[in-house]
Amino acid sequence: MVSAYKATAADNLGAQALLLRSLGRTTNEAMLERTLNLILDDTVLPPLKPFIMEGVASSGIGIRVALKWVQDRWPDIMSAGVPPAEIITKLVAKMTKREDIDMLGSWMMEPARAQYFEAVQPAVALALVTTEWAERDLESVKGWLAKDGNASVS
């Protein structure tokens, strides 16, 4: 896929974005981390770099790998040629677990990164609301199923 991305014509940004998003659609942690490292690669155009995070963060394992990668590589992300808030916003937009959102929010509010938290705050707020809706709806469905005699639903 990386060779396909590099072979794609530079004027075909749509195809490049699609390929970069596709690279993150794996459950192999090492491959996910290598894919995230493309955000730091100078051969990837800055406007396309957020699509890499979008692809990686499309699964639970991808979100966990991306959270660790962002924390470990923050100084490098700062100089990757794309606003760090764009990368973080793509990650937050895919989060579905309250604990992941809270952990990232706490980490972002530390003094060295607090200036970026304001830029990602709308995405964090939306992710929290969406997560609360999903949790509420799940409980409603569980209650409905239990009422119909399906008490073993978890």
What pLDDT score does 153 carry?
53
pLDDT score, position 2: 58
Is 112 inside any structural domain? yes
Q: CB-based contacts of 38: which residues, under 8 Å, 6+ apart? A: 2, 20, 23, 44, 49, 52
Residue 36 domain flag = yes
User: Per-residue confidence of the chain (154 residues) as pLDDT tens digits?
Assistant: 556 656 665 667 888 888 888 888 889 999 999 999 999 998 888 888 999 999 999 999 999 999 999 999 999 998 888 888 889 889 988 888 888 888 888 888 888 888 877 777 788 777 777 777 777 777 777 777 777 666 555 5
Q: Tokens 């990650």, residue? A: 91
Is 1 strand, coil or helix? coil
User: What is the extent of the structural domain holding 108?
Assistant: 2-147
pTM (predicted TM-score): 0.74
Question: Distance between alpha carbon 37 and the CA centroid of its chain, in Å?
Answer: 14
In a domain, 152, yes or no: no
Q: What is the CATH number of the domain that holds 67?
A: 1.25.50.20
Judge residue 90's burial from the number of C-beta atoms within 10 Å of its C-beta, 0-12 exposed, 13-18 middle, 19 or more buried: buried
CA-CA distance, 10 to 48, in Å (whole number)? 11
Residue 153 lies in a domain: no
Residue 154 lies in a domain: no
Residue-level length of the chain: 154
Q: In the chain, how many domains are there?
A: 1
